[in-house]
Chains A and B, each alone.
Chain A
């Protein structure tokens, strides 16, 4: 879902960059309060894993592919503030070295994938995690959090493109949500598998617990 240069007009990409810059500043100041020295390498490993996983496009249907975004994965395992820093780092490296996502669109891409996706995932996970207990409940909460994070990012991406005057919202929105409803299933499955594996390793059992690796309340 990396927006290239050329899809957004200046008012949208400047606006999105301003919102993203504010969110990043808040992420730095919030992680600063909770992150411990020994937890720094975990952020690096999560960022490396998400970058690698994003390279693996899986086919969804009719000649379209998708890949993990990782916003939900990072938010559920390390917290939404750390997730924002992780996804932003991935997006900046992807833009600078691989030109995946445009230079002017970086702010919008950060907003969609490093801010909106992790927070929607985190909110959904906390909400549903409080409703359903036990392992099965956690699995459902994780899956839906991941699926919704992709849908929310696709919605934001559609709005940015439509309000740039590139294509009408009524045209771009149904198409984006349709494809990403399918891609989101892949996101949900991968997130469930990795989260259940890593949380067993880290002893994370329920939402609300402090992440051993990230310091944030999950």
Chain B
């Protein structure tokens, strides 16, 4: 595992999020399906506690549904990478802690 492999890994993740996401199955997932069949899906409706920027993985203000999903995927993938990277740096390997492992 070196820098090149990591960049490739990130590119693969971005490609999946951007290119494959518009072709994802729109059917309900396992839990949603069970909630629908067993009659408790309505409990989740109208219970929104936060106002998310891209609900249902749709980037706001884009007419094309596929493009909106691709963009949401790209933004989300980069956000997750950045958040994970920064959190690891801050909490797991804070400065001054460096050298504890054999880096």
Number of A-B contacts (CB under 8 A): 221
Tell me whether chain A's interface is mostly helix, strand or loop, or mixed: helix
Of A45-53, A115-123, A125-133, the stretch lying at the interface with chain B is A45-53
Given contacts A6-B47, A48-B80, contact A180 B30 (CB under 8 A): yes
Closest chain-B Cβ to A184's Cβ sits at a distance in Å of 10
Q: A52 contacts B77, CB within 8 Å?
A: yes
Interface 1/0 per residue, A5-37 and B, CB below 8 Å: 111000000000000000000001001111111
**Which B13-37 residues have a C-beta within 8 angstroms of A?**
13-14, 16-17, 20-21, 23-31, 33-35, 37
Chain B residues bordering chain A, tally (CB within 8 A): 68
Q: B79: CB under 8 A from chain A?
A: yes
Closest chain-A Cβ to B92's Cβ sits at a distance in Å of 5
Q: A98 contacts B43, CB within 8 Å?
A: no
Chain A residues bordering chain B, tally (CB within 8 A): 74
Interface 1/0 per residue, A38-76 and B, CB below 8 Å: 111111111111111101111100011111000000000
**Which B67-102 residues have a C-beta within 8 angstroms of A?**
69, 72-73, 75-85, 87-89, 91-93, 97-98, 100-102
> Which residues from B are CB-within-8-Å of A99?
48, 50, 52, 55-56
Given contacts A52-B77, A57-B25, contact A103 B53 (CB under 8 A): no
Partner of A36, one of B16, B73, B79, B101: B101
Q: B80 contacts A47, CB within 8 Å?
A: yes
Given contacts A51-B80, A98-B52, contact A179 B47 (CB under 8 A): no
Tell me which of A4, A46, A102 has the highest count of chain B C-beta atoms within 10 A of its own C-beta: A4
Kindly state the separation between the CA atoms of A66 and B38 in the bound complex, as whole angstroms. 18
> Which residues from A are CB-within-8-Å of B80?
44, 47-48, 50-51, 89-90, 93
Given contacts A37-B98, A98-B72, contact A64 B16 (CB under 8 A): no
Q: A136: CB under 8 A from chain B?
A: no
Q: A34 contacts B12, CB within 8 Å?
A: no
> Which residues from A are CB-within-8-Å of B57?
55, 98, 100
Residues of A within 8 A of B (CB): 1-7, 28, 31-53, 55-59, 63-67, 85-86, 89-90, 92-100, 102-104, 154, 157, 161, 166-167, 171-172, 175-176, 179-180, 183, 201-202, 212-213, 215
